[in-house]
């Protein structure tokens, strides 16, 4: 394939590069042989007959590829030329995947029976649903929700993300309290079901994010085009979390603060953006001081770097916003929390979604 950006290795006697399936389960891997060994068996055991399993490898330097070839010869392997992170890794790989639905699955996820069919049934029943997530629970504590997604993602009026079942660092035990199908603001990238047509319509993930919050940005752009994002309680997966970048890493702090500012600038309704940015500067400053006072100096520096990076690239971000604005159907406010989740958590002591899920608190 010479000058092509990617080398495609198809290891399946019945698959061709133009093979079209209803569902493609695409697992992005980077030096994650240990996760592939542990979690691929469940993906195969509970695979739907309508799904193809693909591993997109981000230029791993371990023996992931050798392991896949020898142990799972029916897996289709897409080898990316470099490690461009979560966003670029998927964008590169999905150019070569033809399916009605993509399931972007982290390599550190254990799946369960009916995990695919339940979500596809929901999405097939409503063509306005562009993306959906299952219930995400913790692999190490299967009674509890997992940090990255839980029972569906939301944002508050200042752009801080949280989930049903997980507000900031508080994780709830799953007692069936979120077993209702519900429209949400964002679906987790740990197990993201998305219509391929919609994914390519918005040009996939924003590669400047590298990793973290790119799925929120994707969902927000889809919502601004009039699509819905849903949570399906009839599908459950278990996520390890932090497999690539631990939540205590200053780099993760940097990416989360920087990327959150970028997604606000790109997607927020224009009449509110400057006001929200002013408050975000204040709240992020408080977070930085909290890091400093608690002795977490590298995280304090990460917050500063995140803001300097955002302001240094504001021109490019505003140009993206201008391009997106031309196609916006309506700036969405659906599933936005009208209050401050930070104030609710730290000042009012509200730790669960049920405590804030009150009338007139969500749009």
C-alpha angle 78-79-85 in degrees, rounded to nearest 5: 105
Least confident of 113-117, 297-301, 333-337, 357-361: 357-361
pLDDT at 13 over 50: no
C-alpha angle 109-114-116 in degrees, rounded to nearest 5: 65
Alpha carbon distances (Å) from 62 to 57, 58, 210, 336? 11, 11, 21, 42
Least confident of 128-132, 166-170, 273-277, 324-328: 273-277
Residue, of 189 and 264, whose pLDDT is higher: 189
Question: Residue 358 has what DSSP assignment?
Answer: -
List beta partners, residue 17. Answer: none
Contact call for residues 361 and 338 (beta carbons, < 8 A): yes
The structure tokens 């219930």 sit at: 135
CA 238 to chain centre: 15
- Across the range 64-83, mean pLDDT stands at 94
pLDDT at 338 over 90: no
Q: Following DSSP, what letter does each residue of 293-339 receive, concatenated? A: HTT-HHHHHHHHHHHHHHHHTHHHHHHHHHHHHTT-S----TTEESS
- List phi, psi (to 5°) of 187: -110, 140
Residue, of 335 and 8, whose pLDDT is higher: 335
**Whose CA is closest to 107, among 24, 210, 190, 214?**
190
Q: What is the pLDDT of residues 97-129, one digit of tens each?
A: 999 999 999 999 999 999 999 999 999 999 999
Q: What is the pLDDT of residues 195-208, one digit of tens each?
A: 999 999 999 999 99
pLDDT at 4 over 50: no
Chain-wide mean pLDDT for the chain? 89
Which class for 20: exposed (0-12), middle (13-18), buried (19 or more C-beta within 10 A)?
A: exposed
Residue 52, C-beta contacts closer than 8 angstroms, at least 6 positions apart: 15, 19, 21, 23, 24, 25, 76, 99
pLDDT of 10: 34
Contact call for residues 64 and 32 (beta carbons, < 8 A): yes
pLDDT of 246: 59
- Dist. CA 333–CA 186, nearest whole Å: 12
Q: What is the pLDDT of residues 203-234, one digit of tens each?
A: 999 999 988 899 999 999 999 999 999 999 99
pLDDT at 282 over 70: yes
What's this model's pTM, rounded to 2 decimal places? 0.89
What is the percentage of the chain residues whose pLDDT exceeds 90?
A: 70
pLDDT of 212: 85
List beta partners, residue 52. Answer: 24
Contact call for residues 53 and 44 (beta carbons, < 8 A): yes
- Dist. CA 277–CA 282, nearest whole Å: 9
pLDDT of 2: 41
């Amino acid at each position: 394939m010479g000058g092509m950006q990617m080398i495609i290795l198809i290891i399946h006697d019945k698959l061709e590069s133009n093979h079209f399936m209803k569902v493609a389960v695409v697992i992005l891997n980077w030096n994650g042989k240990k996760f592939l060994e542990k979690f691929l068996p469940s993906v195969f055991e509970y695979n739907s007959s309508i799904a193809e399993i693909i591993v997109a490898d981000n230029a791993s330097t371990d023996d992931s590829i050798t392991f896949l070839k020898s142990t799972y010869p029916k897996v289709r392997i897409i080898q990316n030329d470099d490690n461009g992170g979560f966003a670029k890794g998927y964008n590169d790989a999905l150019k070569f995947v033809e399916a009605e639905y993509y399931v972007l699955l982290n390599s550190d996820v254990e799946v369960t029976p009916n995990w695919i069919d339940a979500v596809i049934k929901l999405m097939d029943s409503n063509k306005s649903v562009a993306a959906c997530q299952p219930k995400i629970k913790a692999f190490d504590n299967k009674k509890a929700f997992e940090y990255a997604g839980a029972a569906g993602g939301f944002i508050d009026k200042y752009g801080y993300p949280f989930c049903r079942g997980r507000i900031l660092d508080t994780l709830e035990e799953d007692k069936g309290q979120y077993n209702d199908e519900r429209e949400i603001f964002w679906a987790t990238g740990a197990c993201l079901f998305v219509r391929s047509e919609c994914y390519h319509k918005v040009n996939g993930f924003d590669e400047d994010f590298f990793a973290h919050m790119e799925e929120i940005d994707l969902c927000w752009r889809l919502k601004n085009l009039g699509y819905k994002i849903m949570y399906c309680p009839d599908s459950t997966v278990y996520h390890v979390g932090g497999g690539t970048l631990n939540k205590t890493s200053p780099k993760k702090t940097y990416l989360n603060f920087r990327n959150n500012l970028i997604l606000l600038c790109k997607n927020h309704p224009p009449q509110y953006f400057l006001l929200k940015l002013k408050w975000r500067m204040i709240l992020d400053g408080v977070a930085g001081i909290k890091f400093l006072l608690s002795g977490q100096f590298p995280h304090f520096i990460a917050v500063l770097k995140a803001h300097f990076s955002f302001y240094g690239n504001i021109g490019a971000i505003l140009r993206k916003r201008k391009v997106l604005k031309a196609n916006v159907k309506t700036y969405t406010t659906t599933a936005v929390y009208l209050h401050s989740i930070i104030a609710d958590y730290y000042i009012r002591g509200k730790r669960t979604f049920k405590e804030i899920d009150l009338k007139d608190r969500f749009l």
